[in-house]
Amino acid sequence: MSMIHRLPSSETVGLKDDFNGPICYTPDGNPLVGPAPGLRNMWLAEGFSFGITAAGGTGHYLAQLMTEGEAEIDMASLDPKRYGNWMTTEYAARKNEECYNHVFILHHPDEERADCRPLRTAPAYDRQIGMGAQMGQVNGWERPNYYGPKDAPEGFDHDSRSFRRGAWWPFAVEEAKAVRNTVGVIDASAFTKHLLRGPGATAFLDHFTCNKLPNVGRINLTYALTDHGTTRTEYTIVRLAQDEYYLISAGAWTAYDYDFLKKSAEDFIAAGGAHIDIHDITTQWGVYALAGPNARALLKDIVKDSDPETVLGNKRFPWLSYRDIELGMCPVRAVRVAYTGELGWELHYPIEFGRYLWDLLWSVGEKHGLKGVGARAQNWLRQEKSYRAFGNELGRDATPLEAALDRFVDLSKDFNGKARMLETGIRSKCVTVLIDGPEDTDPWGKEALLVNGTKVGRLTSGGYSVAFGKQIGMGYVRPDLAEAGTKLKVKILRQEWDVVVVEDSPFDPSNARIRVDG
């Protein structure tokens, strides 16, 4: 073997095996490192496309996971539970081949790989394709990234990739403007959804998460922490009954969240807690997020109620609450919350009603200025409100206090990870920044933040703000640099650009638009 010539000592080390077979790529090219799903005390370290080159780092961090429960860096991107039980042999084999083809080519931040798609599709998928939706993929689900022209002009390429603004950019701008000025609809069916109920449900969730639990009929944003006090999962908790909860979390992490919930509940019961039922109902419920100043007016046209003028008002349906309503012939679990920071509702519907409800929304949508909105515009809008995203601002290497989420942490109660969170203190702080950047490029996240040429932090998200007409980002900096008005630099396209730290929720900081009555 050529290895003997490179490392002569390998010729005399003893028995050797030489394998010539398929390279063990995973569908996304990252290895599987960490605890095995569904099992305890079984650890995986496999799927390494470059073999021994990753051995030192893998051994170091896997040992930390085994002995300390968490590694010193966030290992979620390598977690074996990032795939679900929808994974099949053919899917894995075909994506293996695709990964091999992508090893030595240039990659761009807006890259979407085509093999094995479409696979998991929400009910309105064909309708959205017919409207010009250009799809991305998350956890096998197809979801619109943006809506482009159905009949693209000559020379227009939806699949063009660049480190600068792609062909999709002006369409995302118009979608973001629609949410701010009229109303937009986002297919969020990929959201992870769990039903948790039983006599032990309330006591379990109260210790499992760091915020107060909502009252029946209300919702709350909260976090489940690791034993080290960092953020393991973000949940929107909808309290359906005294001991029945509907949990909504990130769509990319369904199996990851289920495994954590199940094992934590088993520990709770083993310690003497009452029984809990946990069900992954992600594929049973679809979600349309309707948001914008005209959202209430649109819903009034289709809601079935003895008084449609008041059913959606603040008195009967306040912000951060849920109601079971009927839209046309579709039963809907409506949640008054919007990830875009506008008046809005998440419309959770039984999955078989998805096409009907989509058509119903559009049957009255035109007069209200309804526009289909994709994930890229939504990502920009949530940054204008400083809404943290799991996998970006939130993860296993920062505590909720470092993420500046103090208002969602109830220090008056005991919860998992509390002591370690307080012991950790504030090593860095999450901030929102506005950027005077290049005319044709936006940040995506991971860009270095600098002071006098020295790195003091990094962006975790980035994009364009239609409200401020410039680039926007979120990230972590040293605590002494987290005050509003602090001037920094960000490195984009090998140049430094001016950055200013702004107050959280620079757009509509009082939430007046979200709470508006009507």
Query: In whole angstroms, what is the distance from residue 122 CA to residue 118 CA?
Result: 11
Domain boundary assignment for the chain: 18-116, 192-284, 286-379, 428-510
The confidence score (pLDDT) of residue 17 equals 67
pTM: 0.94
Residue 144: asked if its preceding bond is cis (omega within 30°), the reply is no
Q: For residue 378, give every residue at least 6 positions away whose Cβ sits within 8 Å of its Cβ, in sequence order, or none.
A: 186, 289, 339, 340
Report the interhelical angle of 375-384 vs 169-181 (nearest 10°): 50
Give dist(CA 342, CA 338) in Å, integer. Answer: 6
3 state DSSP class of 165 = coil
- Give the pLDDT score at 104: 86
User: Mean pLDDT of residues grouped by 10 in the chain (518 residues)?
Assistant: 76 69 84 94 90 87 95 94 94 92 88 95 97 96 94 76 91 98 98 98 98 98 97 98 98 96 98 98 98 98 96 97 98 97 98 98 98 98 98 96 98 98 98 97 97 97 98 98 98 97 98 96
CATH number of 18-116: 3.50.50.60
Q: Which class is domain 286-379?
A: alpha beta
CATH number assigned to the domain covering 428-510: 2.40.30.110
Query: By C-alpha distance, which of 383, 387, 385 is closest to 403?
Result: 387
- Fold designation for 192-284: Alpha-Beta Plaits (3.30.70)
Q: How many residues does the chain have?
A: 518
Q: What is the DSSP letter of 210?
A: S
Q: Which residues pair with 488 in a beta bridge?
A: 499
pLDDT score for 50: 78
